[in-house]
Amino acid sequence: MLRIALAQVNSTVGDLDGNSAAIVEWTGRAAAAGAGLVVFPEMMLTGYPVEDLALRASFVEASIRTLRATAAELAERGLGSVAVVTGYLDRQAGLAPRVGLPAGAPRDGAAVLHGGAVAVTSAKHHLPNYGVFDEYRYFVPGDVLPVLRIAAPSGEPADVAVAICEDLWQEGGPVTVAGAARASLLVVPNASPYERGKGDARLALCRRRAAEAGAPLAYVNLIGGQDELVFDGGSMIVSAGGELLARGPQFAEALIVADVPAGRAGPEPPGDYPADARDGTTMTIRRIELPGNAAADGAAPAAPQLAPPLEDLAEVYAALVTGTRDYVRKNGFRSVILALSGGIDSALTATIASDAIGPDRVHVVLMPSDYSSEHSVTDATDLVRRQGVRARTVPIAPIVKAFDSELHLTGLAQENLQARIRGMILMSISNAEGHLVLTTGNKSELATGYSTLYGDSAGGYAPIKDVPKTLVWRLARWRNEQAARNGAEPPIPENSIAKPPSAELRPGQLDTDSLPDYAVLDALLDDYVEKDMGSAALLAAGHDPALVERVIALVDRAEYKRRQYPPGPKISAKNFGRDRRLPITSRWREPLGGQPGS
Amino acid sequence: MLRIALAQVNSTVGDLDGNSAAIVEWTGRAAAAGAGLVVFPEMMLTGYPVEDLALRASFVEASIRTLRATAAELAERGLGSVAVVTGYLDRQAGLAPRVGLPAGAPRDGAAVLHGGAVAVTSAKHHLPNYGVFDEYRYFVPGDVLPVLRIAAPSGEPADVAVAICEDLWQEGGPVTVAGAARASLLVVPNASPYERGKGDARLALCRRRAAEAGAPLAYVNLIGGQDELVFDGGSMIVSAGGELLARGPQFAEALIVADVPAGRAGPEPPGDYPADARDGTTMTIRRIELPGNAAADGAAPAAPQLAPPLEDLAEVYAALVTGTRDYVRKNGFRSVILALSGGIDSALTATIASDAIGPDRVHVVLMPSDYSSEHSVTDATDLVRRQGVRARTVPIAPIVKAFDSELHLTGLAQENLQARIRGMILMSISNAEGHLVLTTGNKSELATGYSTLYGDSAGGYAPIKDVPKTLVWRLARWRNEQAARNGAEPPIPENSIAKPPSAELRPGQLDTDSLPDYAVLDALLDDYVEKDMGSAALLAAGHDPALVERVIALVDRAEYKRRQYPPGPKISAKNFGRDRRLPITSRWREPLGGQPGS
């Protein structure tokens, strides 16, 4: 048996020293638990994704230098006998780079640290370049599969192979080669962003790849937020037969310790062995021995954690809280500010913020106008009382009047003006007091352009940007029910959930004056935006033709607004941001009742 | 001899019908000039770049359908005997797509239209995935080199090979195969975005590739603006020996007609021939015959155009005008509005706008405050008189006062407030009257974050976003001198150029209170931003250590502002936008006097 620890931690992009310290700290915990092998996530040392920092020579050099310093530091702390697998940013000196890559081609690397030194390195073989990923821009693929022979305290030694993230998702490559190498364990550092339902897909994938490799598979994922991505953890170990042996929590740092069978080692001595990767490439199996490895001997068997997965709404809510908390913290803010209108979007956003950083660090501003309803103030005040956030009121009527006397605005311009005055008030208080401004718009609004540029869309982070309106309501109800289950007061006023949504920018205005019922709208947006269906497919799916035409036009025309929107946590299969990249200037309109060019 | 026409035209993303009509129209002109072959730019039919529209099945289908309809339309107009080479969006049915690509893998295609049908298709072999390009996200590479045998009116037939854009920039592939196929002419549709000095690089490249192919090379580039990209044309024909035979103008539509030698045809009959592409792949030479081709017989030799390249400042200015004009036009605006402060940035932006769409469609707003200097109004008024733009004045003091009475702001918050009130006034007038708001910030400001979010950074398009401050002054002087050379009144008041720059947000404020001298700053920004140099390299280049530390911190911290900035025309090797992609959340700071992790 080999005792292994999966270090599911939260690294920060660019914080090499902090991330290095985390490796040392968590290796210490793993050693204390008797583990002979500890595995960290992909790009642990640099954070993920580093984007164009991967192309900067000084950053790549610092990553490699810090990796070596980390190995030395581990040995100084008496941890040199633990085998540490960690992701980092590497480069392949001497390789003629792909066109566009700098000399010294960057790689998405994995290193084994042992005995105060870097024992072996490899790099991700399959590079994802779709959805939120742009890895062909940054990396050259790896072609080495390291296999570490680790002497187990008793019995046969373990042969541990290392693959990285996308290497699981594509066919052939490291998993196939690990099978050919008769590895007794496949460990896989990951930086796999959250989206709804992905946990099930990952478990099924790990089961399939463990079977292909003929060995247990240890999947280690990052947790935490990085701009619009949230990493959800959910690290796990699956046996060669597909049994789930251990699983970590979601959205929390954790050390998952388990004993996995050793043995099955091939007879080969240390050295390089060519292998057919079954994906059109040849890889090299690099066998090394790690003598004097210090797995716990005779220790009581580890009782591995088997955290149940969160249910759908709990998982989404945790993603929003994690993304918000980490954007605040990692960007050096201590507090947030947002507009509280009495409506459901700002109520949910305030609740997420309170759960993320505590209500005493959440500042809300009530900004009633002449068109604000009675309940807009009472519902907002009710939320303030329930949560204990810090509230102030700034009436906007005098400012509206000052603009009016200069500009004499009417109609939409007048409506937008009110939203922009509110945005400006938030920005002004932010400038004066240092709070991060949270934007309260939801995905349905962002899709249809039902928002005011520099008004309600102003801010630095948008917690519910990827949440359709119907899901906003479901999350609000879920959060209240969760409070009730725990015997706490529900944080969101029932009236904010129940009342018909309104921007309150003119007397008696309702969202349904401008938009269809949200249940109908969200179903259509899901097909058009997330599934990228064309008009013929939308009609075939049963959507109303007039509505399809109207909503497509709204979505297409709002691209310029989305480009200037702040980032927010991705929870869907296709968010507005890194996932969906469309030109602003485009005359393409999905054909309805007639084909262009025919 | 074969008479060839290069159709250097301005296509619009998504406007399949309009782009198809342009192909028919320009083919008519080419036929009238006696050409037997006309070549259009890359992705002519769809515009370029289409971004994620390439992944939408309905759009790919429409492109292919419109291509066929265009071939039929050409024949109906009596143009079926002209060989038409055009770029379009294709797909490779039946190909197992790369992970992340939809079924029916998209291709960056070229088609030959002849006799009312699509005679042959191919696709770009080398896919760029660096700088502003993301083609691994969208396309599978082509592996066919079409060679068209075109019967010349007298003498030997021509054998015309087709490559696409990046196929010139990388080694091996279509150029090598065209040489092996003994093509008598290599034609290359391009969509190559402008950047300073690129014309010289393209000419040198074409000469080298013509020599490698052993044949004349016809390079056809798009013109026009598309979001942040500007295509500059400059199409050309280079002989096998490197002589420049023809060159089109920059930033203007043009038909370049020339006679090129035929002959050198190999003995091979129509059919497929495998060829070593010398880049690790095998390509197929696809020889087809186009009988009944109607090149002019006995016509007087074409006297090909040899447009001289624009000098540096003229070229940059033309790029800014072209980008601005096309953003306005292609997005359906008829007019623009901007804030005129009396300073150089807004003066140059107004001048670009006047040159782009005419001064009667340029609206300017003077928004003096209590801190505005006397000359801010007189200089702005002087510009209005010189150019005849439409001006109005909206004093901001009463609005500042209304905010002040609610918020009691001081310091930076108060300064930002003034900028935001101005931004809001522009947006309000835009909402009421329908003008596109132009943002007047320059690249030095954008780099250092010396701008107010939702204030002076508000707007839909930013004409001088990629222009460093020192270049702003040079362009202003150049434009005035150009006017003087033409006997016209210089459009920009001398005082706007000569006076020290100030944001005028507090009494006596100067840019140099917050920023170093712009000549020093721009040199440092060029090394840090465009050349991506780390701190050690910056110090080695002789920059002041304290300034390096300060400016790097400013640039790194301003990433969140840049993300919400509108697009503007790219003129540099690395613009803020598609070219430079950095995380907002990042703790990386270039090390100064000490190495992290060591």
Q: Distances from the Cα of B578 to the Cαs of A123, A137, A348, B530, B581, in angstroms?
A: 27, 12, 34, 13, 7
- For residue B331, which residues of chain A lie inside 8 Å, CB to CB? 560, 584-585
Q: Can you tell me the ipTM of this complex?
A: 0.95
Smallest CA–CA separation between B208 and chain A, in Å? 18
Q: β-strands B185-190, A83-92: how paired? A: unpaired
Smallest CA–CA separation between B360 and chain A, in Å? 21
The answer, for A485 touching chain B at a CB cutoff of 8 Å, is no
- For residue A326, which residues of chain B lie inside 8 Å, CB to CB? 585
Flag if B55 and A566 touch (Cβ within 8 Å).
no
Q: Cα(B224)–Cα(B8) distance, rounded to whole angstroms?
A: 10
Flag if A402 and B407 touch (Cβ within 8 Å).
no
B295: nearest Cα among B252, B248, B322, B260: B260
- Is residue B127 classed as helix, strand or coil in its secondary structure? coil
Q: Cα(A166)–Cα(A192) distance, rounded to whole angstroms?
A: 9
Question: pLDDT at position A595, please?
Answer: 45
Kindly identify which residue of chain A lies nearest to residue B167, measuring between CA atoms: A99
Catalytic residues of A: 42, 124, 165
A407: nearest Cα among B421, B419, B459: B421
Question: pLDDT at position B593, please?
Answer: 66
Is the confidence at residue B598, as pLDDT, over 50? no
Burial class (CB in 10 A: 0-12, 13-18, 19+), B293: buried
Question: pLDDT at position A518, please?
Answer: 96
E strand or H helix at B3: strand B2-8
Beta bridge partners, B255, equal B7
Is the confidence at residue B595, as pLDDT, over 70? no
A309 CB-side CA count, 13 A: 19
Q: Cα(A453)–Cα(A463) distance, rounded to whole angstroms?
A: 17
Range list of β-strands (E), A305-373: 336-339, 362-366
- Is residue A557 classed as helix, strand or coil in its secondary structure? helix
Lowest mean pLDDT among A198-202, A477-481, B90-94, B518-522: B90-94
The answer, for A170 touching chain B at a CB cutoff of 8 Å, is yes
The answer, for A477 touching chain B at a CB cutoff of 8 Å, is no
Question: pLDDT at position B371, please?
Answer: 85
Flag if A128 and B99 touch (Cβ within 8 Å).
yes
Beta bridge partners, B220, equal B189
Structure tokens at B56: 């939408």
Question: pLDDT at position B295, please?
Answer: 60
- For residue A129, which residues of chain B lie inside 8 Å, CB to CB? 98, 100, 129, 136-137
Question: pLDDT at position B513, please?
Answer: 87
Please report, as a single letter, which amino acid is at residue A435: H
List of residues 6+ apart from B132 with CB closer than 8 A? B193, B228, B229, B570, B575, B577, B578, B579
Question: pLDDT at position B592, please?
Answer: 81
- Each residue of B494-505: pLDDT tens digit? 999 999 998 888
**Cβ atoms of B525 and B574 closer than 8 Å:** no
Structure tokens at A430: 């932010």
Flag if B567 and A584 touch (Cβ within 8 Å).
yes
Flag if A597 and B50 touch (Cβ within 8 Å).
no
Question: pLDDT at position B266, please?
Answer: 64
Flag if B51 and A416 touch (Cβ within 8 Å).
no
- Which residues, numbered 48 to 67 in chain A, qualify as contacts with chain B under a Cβ-Cβ cut-off of 8 Å? 49-53, 55-59, 61-62, 65-66
Question: pLDDT at position B151, please?
Answer: 83
CA B266 to chain centroid, in Å, comes to: 39
Catalytic residues of B: 42, 124, 165
Question: pLDDT at position A266, please?
Answer: 64
- Which residues, numbered 329 to 368 in chain A, qualify as contacts with chain B under a Cβ-Cβ cut-off of 8 Å? 330-331
Range list of β-strands (E), A115-208: 117-123, 144-150, 158-162, 185-190
The answer, for B563 touching chain A at a CB cutoff of 8 Å, is yes
Smallest CA–CA separation between B495 and chain A, in Å? 29
Question: pLDDT at position B293, please?
Answer: 63
The answer, for A100 touching chain B at a CB cutoff of 8 Å, is yes
Question: pLDDT at position B94, please?
Answer: 72
B344: nearest Cα among B538, B544, B488, B478: B478
Q: Dihedral sign for Cα A562, A563, A564, A569, please.
A: positive
**Cβ atoms of A299 and A291 closer than 8 Å:** no
Q: Distances from the Cα of A505 to the Cαs of A103, A275, A351, B80, B434, in angstroms?
A: 56, 67, 24, 59, 20
User: Which strands form A336-339's sheet, in the order they lie side by side?
Assistant: A390-393, A362-366, A336-339, A436-437
The answer, for A560 touching chain B at a CB cutoff of 8 Å, is yes
- Each residue of B27-51: pLDDT tens digit? 999 999 999 999 999 999 999 999 9
Question: pLDDT at position A244, please?
Answer: 97
Q: β-strands B244-247, B236-238: how paired? A: antiparallel
Q: Is the pTM of this model over 0.80?
A: yes
Among B398, B428, B591, select the one facing A409 at the smallest CB separation.
B428
Query: Hey, what's the torsion of the CAs at B195, B200, B203, B208, to 10 degrees?
Result: -110
Question: pLDDT at position A557, please?
Answer: 96
Q: β-strands A254-260, A2-8: how paired? A: antiparallel
The answer, for A537 touching chain B at a CB cutoff of 8 Å, is yes
Beta bridge partners, B311, equal none
Angle at A451 (CA atoms; ends B54, A579), nearest 5 degrees:
30
**φ/ψ (deg, to 5) at B537:** -65, -35
From the first residue on, what is the mean pLDDT of each consecutive set of 10 residues in chain A (598 residues)? 95 98 98 96 98 96 98 98 97 77 89 98 97 96 96 82 97 97 97 96 98 97 98 98 97 96 78 96 96 62 87 98 98 98 97 98 95 90 98 95 91 93 97 97 97 97 98 98 97 96 88 91 97 95 96 97 98 96 96 55
Smallest CA–CA separation between B594 and chain A, in Å? 11
Query: Hey, what's the torsion of the CAs at B483, B486, B488, B490, to 10 degrees?
Result: 20
- The mean pLDDT of chain B is 94
- Which residues, numbered 445 to 464 in chain B, qualify as contacts with chain A under a Cβ-Cβ cut-off of 8 Å? 453-454, 458, 460
- Is residue A36 classed as helix, strand or coil in its secondary structure? coil
- Is residue B274 classed as helix, strand or coil in its secondary structure? strand
**φ/ψ (deg, to 5) at A187:** -105, 140
- Each residue of B152-209: pLDDT tens digit? 766 788 999 999 999 999 999 999 999 999 999 999 999 999 999 999 999 999 999 9
**Cβ atoms of A144 and A271 closer than 8 Å:** no
Q: Cα(A517)–Cα(A510) distance, rounded to whole angstroms?
A: 11
